[in-house]
Amino acid sequence: MNHRSLGRTGIEVTELGLGTWGLSGDGYGPVKEADQDRVIERALALGIDLFETAPSYARGAMERRLGRLLPRRGVCVVTKLGTDWSASPPRKRFDPEFLRQSFEQSRQRLARDVVDVVLLHGPSVRAVQRGPAVDAMCELRENGSVRAWGITVGSEEAGRLAIERGAEVVSVPYNAFHRSDLRRLEPLIEERGVGVLAHSVLCYGLLCGQWSPNQRFAEGDHRAERWTPDELRLRIRQLDALRPAVSGQVTSMRSAALRFVLESGCVSSALMGPRTSVQLDQLVREAGRGRPYLERDQLASLEARLLDVQVDT
């Protein structure tokens, strides 16, 4: 398993990380607890050492699971603060009192004295601009409770402002169909030495290329609300831009999509979201063993085709 620097934080992480939103049962429907354990244990066995979670995932249950299964040393744990899941409906909260309380609860669930990375979970531009949320994160960093702090990017503007205020890590949606946020932030990321966690690397499964034009999603699956039927049919047609990348060692659409993310020199770790250990094994196997993940001509041709079908740039 290859490692990359998480910006200038001094933390080294595997270039493939385990994201646990889907595994928690939120977003895509329930996952058996035994399967959750198997995925986490398999990730450790494969050498993955970055695990991303949040107190809102299964109302704290995923943090507790990671706290039980992960070793106390040798792994990087990332959690995210700013969602009050005790409210009905859950709401965003970034006041310092809530953030401090939420952090202490997360630290207990994760069974850690020091949490490696804590991110503000999708704050608005206004929440970052107002200052107290950033001040609270800096306080956690300064008193040694966290090794690095950052933001899950809800918008390019919020990400830019957070980096300018000192964010050391950003988690950004980045995939073949959604490239613009990271690429517009990239000059500032490089200038400030910010670590980058890429999430939504398979665009919620779309880029695996396994859906029919009339795909339907089960109750409790967030994808049922993410696209209208017409939007989904368009996205599936746009997958034709990705298909020619499947050749040689790139054996599937899933492989092409994941390798596209890993080829970015800006990305520290690509967060995968498998819900079974079989899916995890497939992703790790198909990701490749190192650069080039996609050959230069493959990547250039893919970029040109993506422009032709007018996906996000």
Percent of the chain whose pLDDT exceeds 90: 94
Q: pLDDT tens digits, residue range 206-219? A: 999 999 999 999 98
The answer to whether the Cα torsion of 232, 234, 239, 240 is positive or negative is positive
Output the pLDDT for position 88. Answer: 86
Average pLDDT score, the chain:
96
CA distance linking residue 271 with residue 268, whole number of Å = 10
Query: What CATH architecture applies to the domain 3-208+246-293?
Result: Alpha-Beta Barrel (3.20)
Q: Which pLDDT value is given to residue 278? A: 97
Cβ(49)–Cβ(13) below 8 Å: yes
In one letter, which amino acid is 261? V
Give which of 38, 245, 13 is closest to 116, Cα–Cα. Answer: 13
Q: Give CA–CA dist 51/100, Å, rounded.
A: 21
pLDDT, position 85: 86
Cα–Cα distance measured from residue 109 to residue 88, given in angstroms and rounded to the nearest whole number = 22
Residue type, 272: M
Of residues 9, 15, 256, 244, the one with CA closest to residue 115: 9
Share of the chain above pLDDT 70, in %: 100
Q: What's the pLDDT tens digit per position in 13-60? A: 999 999 999 999 998 999 999 999 999 999 999 999 999 999 999 999
pLDDT band per the 50, 70, 90 thresholds, residue 313: low
Q: What is the dihedral of CA 15, 21, 27, 30, to 10 degrees?
A: 120
The residue-averaged pLDDT of 286-293 equals 95
Q: How many residues does the chain have?
A: 313
For the stretch 61-79, pLDDT in tens is 999 999 999 999 999 999 9
Which pLDDT value is given to residue 219? 84
Q: Is 224 helix (H, G, I), strand (E, B) or coil?
A: helix
Q: Where does the pLDDT of residue 148 fall: very low under 50, low under 70, confident under 90, or very high at 90 and above?
A: very high
| Across 92-96, 166-170, 309-313, least confident range | 309-313
Quick one: how far is CA 161 from the chain centroid?
A: 20
Strand partners, 171: 152, 197
Task: Provide the CB-side half-sphere exposure for 225 (13 A, CA).
Answer: 6
Domain coordinates in residue numbering, the chain: 3-208+246-293
Comparing CA positions, the residue from 201, 197, 142, 198 lying closest to residue 166 is: 142
* Residue 229: CA count within 13 A, CB half-sphere: 4
Has residue 87 got a pLDDT over 90?
no
**How much is the average pLDDT of 241-267?**
96
Residue 52 sits at φ, ψ, to 5 deg, of: -115, 135
Q: What is the mean pLDDT of residues 273-282?
A: 97
- pLDDT bin (cut points 50, 70, 90) of residue 228 is very high
Task: Convert the pLDDT of each residue in 177-202 to its tens digit.
Answer: 999 999 999 999 999 999 999 999 99
